[in-house]
């Protein structure tokens, strides 16, 4: 009896390789009947009656989301720190109100992914801020 295994890209969950116990990679577009070894995919997929079903690991998903939220908070705080000077009266900026609105928007953003970041106002010195996290 031949047992078929699959390897899945962890980001896209696409099957990237099939192989069987007789050795050598095997690929067949229509063939989804396979056994998934626990050490490879047990946390993201299971097979019941020959059908692969993706299952969400809620703890893992929460950890990923929490890490992304923390990254967003760090980015937001960095943006506020780098633009503090825009609120001083002697900066020479002509769009101080745009900067005040930008900073208020940054402070009140929901940082849970996905985040729609506000656009940095223009300045005579060019952009100050790094590219936001995706």
How high is the pLDDT of residue 14?
A: 72
pLDDT digits (tens, 9 = 90+) for 54-92: 566 677 778 878 889 999 999 999 999 999 999 999 989
Domain enclosing residue 44, as ranges? 4-54
Q: Are residues 75 and 133 in the same domain?
A: yes
Among the residue ranges 38-42, 48-52, 114-118, the one predicted with the least confidence is 38-42
Q: Which position has the higher pLDDT, 51 or 82?
A: 82
Q: Are residues 118 and 64 in the same domain?
A: yes
Partners of 15 in the β-ladder: 8
Among the residue ranges 31-35, 108-112, 120-124, the one predicted with the least confidence is 31-35
How far apart, in Å, are the Cα atoms of 114 and each of 17, 27, 64, 132, 133? 31, 35, 12, 12, 10
Q: How many domains does the chain have?
A: 2
Q: Are residues 47 and 65 in the same domain?
A: no
Q: Are residues 26 and 64 in the same domain?
A: no
């Amino acid at each position: 009896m031949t047992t078929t295994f699959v390897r899945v890209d962890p980001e896209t969950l696409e099957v990237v390789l099939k192989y069987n116990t007789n050795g050598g990679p095997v690929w067949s577009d229509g063939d989804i009947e396979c056994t998934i070894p626990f050490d490879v995919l047990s946390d993201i997929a299971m097979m019941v009656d020959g059908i692969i079903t993706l299952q969400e690991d809620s703890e893992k998903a929460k950890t990923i989301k929490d890490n992304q939220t923390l990254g967003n908070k760090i980015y937001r705080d960095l943006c506020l720190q780098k633009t503090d000077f825009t609120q001083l009266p002697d900066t020479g900026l002509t769009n101080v109100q745009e900067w005040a609105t930008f900073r208020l928007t940054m402070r009140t953003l929901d940082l849970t992914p996905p985040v729609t970041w506000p656009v940095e106002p223009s300045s005579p010195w060019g952009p100050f801020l790094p590219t936001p996290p995706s």
